[in-house]
Structure 1
Amino acid sequence: MRRQLLLALVLFSLPVAAAATVSSQPGDTLNRLAVRYGTTPQVLTGANPALPQGVLKTGTRVTLPPTPTRLWTVRPGDTLSAIARREGTTLAALVSANPGLDPQRPLQVGQKLTLPSRWAGAPRSSATPVVRPASIRVTPVMPVTGRVTTPFRDGHEGVDLAAPTGTPIRAAAPGVVTESRFDAQSGWGWTLVVDHGNGLQTRYSHNSANLVPVGSRVEAGQVIGRVGSTGNSTGPHLDYRVTVQGQPINPFSLY
């Protein structure tokens, strides 16, 4: 009895993140939402018992269950990848849980990191596979080394990487340039899109300059543009987006 009381007190003392509510997008199902938010269909069903199992109506409000907030104090030798493996989560989930964290910079001993929920990196069932396109034959290249100012989340289907104007933008993987234009309609400014085959595309936006024309064949790591702040932007950064068969995925899931 005493042990149960102590356990209850410990759990009660843990900070708990408020339940988040997101809106479904066209074609969304509980399975698809589970993949996007790093959980399982069973967890979403438990938090939303009235939702149907098929395709959801666009704009349906879906509750993501609250979870205890956990912190990690960086130790000597720690890396983001090692912490993610140790905690049973993913690098993408760890970066998303820490806005402003630059995954390209070494961690500092004593630095505090917010850990994702335990189920954020839990194994998925066969019905909700992790999407890693077969067209990726080499380790993808991060297009820009910069601080994450906006992570992948509901309403922002990419990551914003802050970097000085003129910083080289590199192709994430081999492919063919399918767009190289100023996109005023979407507010993305100078934008490049590269098709990597098998339904995988990467998009690079708000550039100060596009350095490759439509139809160009590019290699992984090749400089294809320069960071800027064109279009609807508040400062120099790269808006980096990845889609598979037209479905947005977290760019960090490729790495």
Structure 2
Amino acid sequence: MKSFVKGESKTKKTSSGFARHLEFKKGFLKNPFFYFGFFSLFLFGLLFFSSDGLVGISHSKNNAAGFYKNIDNSENNDLFFNQNKLLAVETPDLKIIQDNFVYGISTPHIVTTQVLGSMFGESSLVDRKEIIEYSVESGDTIKGVAGKFGVSEDTIAWANNISKNSALKVGQTLVILPVSGVLHIVKAGDTIGAISKTYKAKMEDIISTNSLSGELDIFIGDILIIKGGSMPPKPISSIVSAPLNESLFIYPAEGQITQGLHFYNAVDLANKCGAPVYAAASGVVQRVRYGWNFGGGNQVTILHAGGIVTYYGHLMTIFVKPGDSIDVGQRLGLMGSTGLSTGCHVHFGVTGAKNPLAKFFIGSVIKYK
């Protein structure tokens, strides 16, 4: 009897505990925070296991870190005044670069029709979107060259300041426009309306051919293709290339000169992809363009004192934007091979002054002291 009473008491305790458990569970299930927490956990798990986004973020950060470790001077802020780690303002977008271009060196871009044919295909020599430089071959005439590229004889003559009747020399370099017309370099006071009247061309053609946003979208030093235009009888005043005060200018990058002075008043300076490119002097950023751009690739132009404009082409990544005030030696971007390019280099052009790199021979190595 004694043991039975104990057993009954134990049974009552067990039943009572089970009842409290049921009451707790019912109360817990009625709590809305339970369902919110469960749903949140389920959603997080679904996102985590169905996407590699979190892994990709970590992977891209590791790639970027490795990329910068391989860039010369990326951590050297004493090269030009105080850079304040401007490289960190915008990380490169890490575009996919062909393996043979990562450490590729640019070769001269003056080409023959055979080279152009292999690059674009024979039929596309006529249907081009870039300004090229052509090396005259034996037997070439202005009429023949014009026919090869689908432009007028006048276009060839005007772009190269020669007569239609001029005899061509083997090895002579000719600037070839993608369409028949005239080249114009924008000067202070120029407007699209005035330019169109001067060359008897349509304003809409000038705007569309040069990918301008409108009539006001021109800057000093811009090189415009005037489609369908013709050279006026009275010569257009040319841009004066005044001597450059080299004490105010620096070289835009370290590297090797791979092509001497060529269109337009430019020199090619090659290095590995990702090498930093700097502003040659203080000024204001006029243009920042991405894409093909007549073969110039990603590019920046800067207006300096005295109306001098410097141009930096074929960049991989750009760190500045239009309107930015730039100090001499400020990092503009990273050297690349965008546009019509055979290797990583910067196409450094100067409008309104002599190019400070023009004095170096091809093969010269430029290094900062």
Normalising by the residue count of structure 2, what TM-score does the alignment of the two structures yield? 0.33
* Structure with more of its chain in strand, by fraction: 1
Q: Which has the larger radius of gyration?
A: 2
* Structure with more of its chain in helix, by fraction: 2
Normalising by the residue count of structure 1, what TM-score does the alignment of the two structures yield? 0.46
